Amino acid sequence: MGHDAYQTLRVSRRNAVAHVVIDNPPVNVLGVAVMADLRRLLDTLAGDDTVRVIVFASADPDFFLAHVDMTATPDTLAGLAADLPNGVNVFQAVGEQLRRQPQVTIVKLAGKARGGGAEFVAAADMAFAAIGKAGLGQVEALMGIVPGGGATQYLTERVGRHRALEIVLGADLMDAETAERYGWVNRAVPADRLDEFVDRLAGNIAALPDGVVAAAKHAIVPRDHSDGLARENDAWAGLVFRPATARLMGAGLANGAQTRDGEEDLEGLFRDLAG
């Protein structure tokens, strides 16, 4: 594993812990290259029984994964669509692969994660968020769609139906403490202690006696969301190809979405467009 193997990921290893740093400037949009790199990396690591923990972080202190690339088209996604597991779309495939990874997966959330980025956080086994810096949000409703990468199912499992509806339809950015209280992340951690906390936890898990991690992952299985993911995909597909959705996303891009300034308050940007 090394930096040169992936276009958008920096990968290193310390003992039995793989450290993956997402690096897709300017704001770590979850684009085709990132999704392809993540799926290839997870597939590679799945066959490596010397790695017990995977820690995901960001090269950008302000953005973990901004959201799915709004400029993506069916043509640009075609390569990913050619190799999908049964019953999931290209966005759901990333989360489902992460959920079923044999290693323990941990997100070190020091910046913002919205849309598909927030879905990635929810799909990981554990997530720890920096107080005063991290933010989580499902912004899709403001673009005229619903989440299409697993959030409707992952959030319902993590926070319950009522809070999942609040997150999806309220479309606000949630801070670390609220995300912890709701159950979206495991714990909110002081920002200056996040690295130390996650690295210690990952190291402790990786140092467990042989067989313990595999046994725990075998016993504590991810819930089967097959039916729910199919419903989610139908709901998303029924909205995403409407002309009104294209106009909203185009206006968002024209007004600063996927730039550093626009992404600071993406929710406000889209609410202003609606007003």
Residue 225 sits in a domain of what CATH number? Answer: 3.90.226.10
Confidence of residue 5 (pLDDT cuts 50, 70, 90): confident
> How would you classify the pairing of strands 112-114 and 104-109?
unpaired
Q: Is 120 part of a structural domain of the chain? A: yes
Instruction: Say yes or no to pLDDT of 2 above 60.
Output: no
The answer as to whether 215 is a domain residue is: no
Query: Is 37 a member of any domain?
Result: yes
The parent domain of residue 39 ranges over: 3-209+221-274
pLDDT for 268 beyond 70: yes
DSSP secondary-structure letter at 30?
B
Q: Is residue 252 part of a domain?
A: yes
In this prediction, residues 47-66 reach a mean pLDDT of 97
Average pLDDT over residues 182-195: 98
Query: What is the residue whose two structure tokens read 């202190």?
Result: 61
Which of the residue ranges 81-90, 109-118, 127-136, 210-219 would you say has the lowest mean pLDDT? 81-90
pLDDT at 274: 86
| Range 229-232 contact pairs with CB under 8 angstroms and sequence separation of 24 or more | 229/87, 229/88, 229/92, 229/96, 229/150, 229/153, 230/87, 231/152, 232/92, 232/146, 232/147, 232/148, 232/150, 232/151, 232/152, 232/153
pTM for the complete prediction? 0.97
Q: Is residue 214 part of a domain?
A: no
The mean pLDDT of 3-25, rounded to a whole number, is: 93
What is the domain count for the chain?
Answer: 1
